[in-house]
Amino acid sequence: MTDVDFDSEQYEKCREAGEILAQVRDEAAERVEVGVSHLEVAQWAEDKIRELGGKPAFPVNISIDEEAAHATPERDDDATFGEEMVNLDIGVHVDGWLADTAVTVDLSGQDELAKAPEEALDAALDVAGPGVDVGQIGAAVEEVIEGYGYNPVVNLTGHGLGHWEQHTSPNIPNREVAQGATLDVGDVVAIEPFATDGRGKVQEGADEEIFALEREGSVRNRQARQVLEQITDEYRTLPFAARWLDSPRAEMALRRLKQQDIVHGYPVLKEQDGAYVSQKEHTVIITEDGCEVTTRSR
């Protein structure tokens, strides 16, 4: 087994990102109430992250009811929370070292569906450690969620977190799989159970407000060039929101960059039956004797 220096700058910055994120997640969740603006909550959380010394690792995701991921408010979004199931998925980085977390705020009166991924995550954390096959984590998640009478979302997974990389190997399944990857000491991974009262698969919707750099490239259009410079300088390979861009013609510039395969979008993912989706997520560092949760409330 390779020695890992858990006091190194990398892990200290991962912990700092997690500490900032835990505070922002908890305070943002308290702001989710019927009648409150989606945009207000997202911008508050992103500003708070910066105030505390981090930067958003991706736009705050606010997923409603059947939405599972990649939903974030538009620039002039006027949507407000109703009696709905709300998932907040928030990320922080410190110099490119990441933490990722999510929580369900249930305004719909479905307490059991909201509790299922919480308990599933606890079960997953009990299993996670060095030498553990990720399929064992998936089995623990699946058992708990099915025990509540729901289904895990099987085509969404947890994931590794790299330097300036939001999704790296290994994938952490939400159901039992055979011969998955094995966790190693020093791995930083996000474990995120999703539960649904549908059949348990998501599909892409039409809306798209989150984007990321696909490759380096040159463009002739001035607005597109300005937007590309901002993306490259500020966000690198991490996801960003269209509303973060300074250009007054940002949407047109993004279309040009997408057409040239320089930028790709993240369509909103929705449960294919239109069923409710709940979520809970923590970031962990795999240690010699288990795992260290970096995003737990202090």
Q: Is 192 a catalytic residue?
A: yes
Residue 63's beta-bridge partner residues? 87
pLDDT score, position 1: 46
Tens of pLDDT along 177-212?
987 899 999 999 999 999 999 999 999 999 999 999
SS3 readout for the chain: CCCCCCCCHHHHHHHHHHHHHHHHHHHHHHHCCCCCEHHHHHHHHHHHHHHCCCEEEEEEEEEECCEEECCCCCCCCCCECCCCEEEEEEEEEECCEEEEEEEEEECCCCHHHHHHHHHHHHHHHHHCCCCCEHHHHHHHHHHHHHHCCCEECCCCCEEEEECCEEEEEEEECCCCCCCCCECCCCCEEEECCEEECCCCCEEEEEEEEEEEECCCCCCCCHHHHHHHHHHHHHHCCCCEEHHHCCCCCHHHHHHHHHHCCCEEEEEEEEECCCCCEEECEEEEEEECCEEEECCCCC
Instruction: Label residue 165 exposed, middle or buried (CB < 10 Å: 0-12, 13-18, 19+).
Output: middle
184 annotated among ligand-binding-site residues: no
Q: Is 264 a catalytic residue?
A: no
What's the chain's average pLDDT?
96
Tens of pLDDT along 44-100?
999 999 999 999 999 999 999 999 999 999 999 999 999 999 999 999 999 999 999
Tens of pLDDT along 11-40?
999 999 999 999 999 999 999 999 999 999
Q: Is 167 a catalytic residue?
A: yes
* Residue from 46, 159, 197, 271 carrying the catalytic annotation: 159
- Tokens in use for 226? 């300005």
Q: Is 112 a catalytic residue?
A: no
With bands split at pLDDT 50, 70 and 90, how would you rate the model's confidence at 150?
very high
- Tokens in use for 75? 């620039």
**Best CA proximity match to 55, nearest among 12, 7, 15, 21:** 21
192 annotated among ligand-binding-site residues: yes
* Residue from 167, 207, 214, 292 carrying the catalytic annotation: 167
Residues 6+ apart with CB under 8 A from 31: 40, 41, 44
Residues 6+ apart with CB under 8 A from 290: 128, 129
* Residue from 100, 106, 142, 197 carrying the catalytic annotation: 100
Give the global pTM: 0.95
Residue 55's beta-bridge partner residues? 93
* Residue from 46, 66, 67, 89 carrying the catalytic annotation: 89
Q: Is 89 a catalytic residue?
A: yes
Domains and CATH numbers, the chain: 9-204+269-293 (3.90.230.10), 207-268 (1.10.10.10)
167 annotated among ligand-binding-site residues: yes
38 annotated among ligand-binding-site residues: no
